[in-house]
Amino acid sequence: MKSTEIHATAVIDPTATLGTGVVIGPYAVIGAQVEIGDGTEIASGAQVMGPTSMGRDNRVFPHACIGFDPQDLKFKGEETRLDIGDANHFREFCTVNRGTGFGGGVTSIGDHNLFMAYSHVAHDCHVGNETIFVNNATLGGHVEVGDYATVGAFGSVHQFCRVGAYAYIGGYSVLTRDVLPYMKTVGMKPACYGVNRVGLKRRGLAAESLSALESAYRLLVRSRLPPNKALERLRAEHNGDEHVTQLIAFVAGSERGVIMDAPGRGASRGGGAA
């Protein structure tokens, strides 16, 4: 691995820790209690504040702001942190905030995620692995995002919501309830538009699992059964597919309710915890 390179105009707090092969560009700022793993690049004008731990091979593009104080009026300066895994890309003007004492104290991000320009991850959020946040995608505080999910351009997720694994959220969507895993959810008054077949095929899901998820979608969303009744039938009728099992657990564990409105039906039947 190449040696660490620090531009002469960069500002690095003496308490920061830099791994091997780290590159710090012109006018970048690395604050106190920041740990940056091997091979990570911090581009010109980007800022990383602490306490923040960042793993290997991340790239922080110009003017991204990572690890700043949470945007929460309840925050009173208590020590909180941001934990970031490996091989994430934070594009231009992306912002990620640390946690709050009230919310558990930690914002966390896994591995191999792409945060496009102007996307925002608020305090106490927990993001999995290999997600994509398209330009201006925004998470409110305390949001959980599962692995392989995509949040479309200008999509916004309300605080305390969950976005399920493999979910696809369309551009400009406004999500105030939990978003079903494996499904496409779209709209300012969002509806569930079926299985995310393209994304699931790219991730290598078997045809049998796709078929099982489509059957589950028809029962949960299209049948117009109350959520608790739909779950009862799904538990009784599904073939044991692991992904359908995860879908059932997600819906059953919802506290805010789940978006299960069908296209063209508005909010005639809303998803809810069951």
Residues forming the active site: 123-124, 141
Burial of 14 (0-12, 13-18, 19+ CB in 10 A): exposed
Distance CA 101, CA 80 (A): 7
Distance CA 66, CA 93 (A): 10
Q: Which tokens sit at 105?
A: 């104290």
How does 121-154 read in b/e, with b if 16+ C-beta sit within 10 Å? bbbbbbbbbbbbbbbbbbbbbbbbbbbbbbbbbb
Which of 85, 40, 39, 31 shows the shortest CA–CA distance to 59? 40
Burial of 67 (0-12, 13-18, 19+ CB in 10 A): buried
Omega before 51 within 30 of 0, i.e. cis: yes
